[in-house]
Amino acid sequence: MNTLLVLCLIAALLVCAALLFLSRPEDDRSGPASTPPGPPRLLLSTPEQILYHRLVAALPAHMILAQVQVSRVLGQLRGADFDEREHRVARMSYDFVVCTLDSTVLAAIELDDRSHEAADRIDADARKDRATAAADLRLIRWHVRALPDTEAIQAEFADSLARVCGQRDGARR
């Protein structure tokens, strides 16, 4: 009789332990034996690194930001014509964002490669283009096989810089 009581008590404890384990969030179930994250990876590909350094050299009086979420630049998409497809823009990022030193955004830059020829990427690029245009922000697309040199970058930003400086001068008057 004692043995039967002990076995029932052990079974009840096992059921309680199983229920407690299953009621924990899935992320906590792995415990200390889970696989640790790997080492940090490079944030920029080789072409992105080359373009980054060219942007910094060409635009020394600007902030060059890499891998910036579209939602950080454009803000929240709202309005009556808000569409679920456009909501997915919030998960996207720009390869680079060029700002004045007070963080006024001049333009976003996308560096395209062969992966942008896939149907899903074409659709994602079109959504990003529409959202960026709707925010009246300039989006520059360069291909990895035709990276601009510093002179071409300076020429590309000459108009944007003049416009931003003109807006500030008008606001100070």
Q: What is the pLDDT of residues 63-109, one digit of tens each?
A: 999 999 998 888 765 554 555 545 566 678 999 999 999 999 999 99
Phi, psi angles (nearest 5°) of residue 78: -140, 175
Six-digit token string for 136:
């009246």
Model confidence pLDDT, tens digit, residues 9-62 = 676 677 766 677 777 766 555 556 678 888 888 889 999 999 999 999 999 999
Inter-residue contact 74 to 94 (CB < 8 Å):
no
Beta bridge partners of 66: 96
Query: Rounded to whole angstroms, what are the CA distances from 147 to 51, 111, 114, 125?
Result: 7, 9, 14, 19
Domain ranges, ordered by start, for the chain: 48-172
As a whole number, the mean pLDDT across the chain is 80
The Cα–Cα gap between 123 and 127 comes to 6
What are the start-end ranges of the H helices in the chain?
A: 2-23, 46-58, 70-74, 84-87, 119-134, 150-172
DSSP 140: E
Beta bridge partners of 142: 111
pTM listed for this prediction = 0.67
